[in-house]
Amino acid sequence: MQLILDLMTFLFSKKKRLIYTTFKQAEYYKASSSLEASGISFRTKMTNHHRTALGQPQYFNENRNSDQYDIFVTEEDEHSALKAIHQKNR
């Protein structure tokens, strides 16, 4: 089911340019705040890799952050978004 939703989002969303990926929530919040402050519209895909094939939680390594945050923007906003995210004064 998730594959179908991902495919539909990719096909119908204008925000297809992956500009930022992180596994740290704090870094995601900094990046998304920078984009919002710059007035840039974006889409986030969060993937949780903390599951087994059967969907059961894995507890063998609780210190490992397994959430992946991907930020997408439109092709037109790509340059401005990268500039906003990578400014030294965030």
In a domain, 51, yes or no: yes
Overall average pLDDT of the 38-63 stretch: 71
- Whole-number pLDDT of residue 48: 81
Spatial CA neighbour of 72 closest among 31, 25, 27, 23: 31
Q: Domain span at residue 38? A: 14-85
How open is the CA angle 56-71-65, to the nearest 5 degrees?
A: 35
- Whole-number pLDDT of residue 51: 57
Tally of structural domains, the chain: 1
Q: What is the pLDDT of residues 2-34, one digit of tens each?
A: 667 666 666 667 788 999 999 999 999 999 999
Q: Which residue has the tokens 């900094």?
A: 30
For the CA atoms of the chain, what is the radius of gyration? 15
In a domain, 78, yes or no: yes
In a domain, 1, yes or no: no
Amino acid occupying residue 10: F
Instruction: Output the domain CATH number for residue 34.
Output: 3.30.70.1370
In a domain, 72, yes or no: yes
How open is the CA angle 20-26-32, to the nearest 5 degrees?
A: 45
